[in-house]
Amino acid sequence: MTQERIDALNSIGFEWMMLVDWDVRLQQLTDFKATHGNCNVPWRSHENPQLRTWVQNQRKAYKRFIEGASSSITKKRIEALNNLGFEW
């Protein structure tokens, strides 16, 4: 994207989406579990809809990992989620 386009978007107040670090989402899930007693973020979560999407993406990545396909999830991440009581 050219600087001219970036400037044009900025001039109309465009909000740039920032990717949230995996560890930040894990902490959000940890906080959710402390409040709700589980890691099952409701589909229509008004509290943090991005967390619900992240949880769903972790499940998809885990399925690909188990199937031997390319996946963004690592053994370390799987272990962290398992330690939290995450339900795959």
pTM, 2 dp: 0.76
Does residue 80 register a pLDDT over 80? yes
Measured CA to CA in angstroms, residue 6 lies from 17, 18, 20, 63, 88 at distances of 13, 15, 21, 37, 40
Choose between 2 and 10: higher pLDDT.
2
The percentage of residues in the chain with a pLDDT greater than 70, rounded to a whole number, is 93
